[in-house]
Amino acid sequence: MDFQTLLSLCLGLGLSAACGFRVFVPFLVMNLAARAGYLTLSGSFEWIASTPALIMFAVATVLEIGAYYIPWLDNFLDTAATPIAAVAGVVATASVVTGLDPMIKWPLAVIAGGGIAGAVQATTVAARAASTLGTGGLGNPLVSSVEAGSSLVLTFLSLVLPLLALAAVVVILLALWAIIRRGRRSGAAGY
């Protein structure tokens, strides 16, 4: 695997992780970056840079971010967003990975891209559940803001410094895993 292929894979995995925080934010930024000539999309994914896609991603991003600030809707959205985030992770990875045979690209996109997006989304579900239980839902807007901001920052980091973005994804997943484990241990200790 050459360095350019490695960078495209890191880019894809960083974008996939960003999809785990918010599904449409990475696609909106990808559209704008591709339209500006900063991002090259692989073959059949050039539709991501189209004007209809720009409109769709912009509307979907506003609706998704806004819906997470509605108290009961945010927990419902987590249920729906989990499989959607995994699919978005597959698409995000497959759309930017270049230089790989399709027999390698697609399993990587499905397993790594979908897996990372799903893992990040699962941790956000756990964080929102903990916030709902701990604050009666009053802390959920803060959780929503952190998630949306994380998606945006990770998307930009992936586009600018893909290797650093992948390192950040690993750190984020390890930190979230540690927080969830600590919460489970303290919850089990209370019984």
pLDDT > 60? residue 96: yes
Give residue-wise pLDDT tens across range 98-145. Answer: 888 999 999 999 999 999 999 999 888 888 888 888 888 888 899 899
Q: Which pTM value belongs to this model?
A: 0.89
pLDDT > 70? residue 170: yes
Is the pLDDT higher at 116 or at 74?
Answer: 116
The pLDDT value recorded for residue 23 is 96
The pLDDT value recorded for residue 189 is 52
The pLDDT value recorded for residue 128 is 83
DSSP 46: G
pLDDT > 80? residue 188: no
186 band by pLDDT with thresholds 50, 70 and 90? low
62 band by pLDDT with thresholds 50, 70 and 90? very high
DSSP 49: G
Residue linked to tokens 């994380």: 150
Residue linked to tokens 């490695």: 6
Residue linked to tokens 């991603």: 57
Residue 140 and residue 74 in contact, taking contact as beta carbons nearer than 8 Å: yes
- The mean pLDDT value of the chain amounts to 90
pLDDT > 70? residue 46: yes
State whether residue 22 is helix, strand or coil. Answer: coil
Residue 12 exposure: Cα atoms within 13 Å on the Cβ side: 34
d(CA 166, CA 67): 28
Written as one string, the DSSP assignment of 99-130 is SS-HHHHHHHIIIIIHHHHHHHHHHHHHHHHH
The pLDDT value recorded for residue 106 is 95
pLDDT > 50? residue 191: no
| Residue 98 dihedral angles phi and psi, to the nearest 5° | -125, 160
Q: Is the dihedral of CA 54, 35, 26, 98 positive or negative?
A: positive
Domain count, the chain: 1
- What residues make up the domain containing 101? 3-189
- Amino acid identity for residue 142 in this structure: L
pLDDT > 60? residue 161: yes
Residue 53: partners with Cβ closer than 8 Å, 6 or more residues away: 27, 31, 47
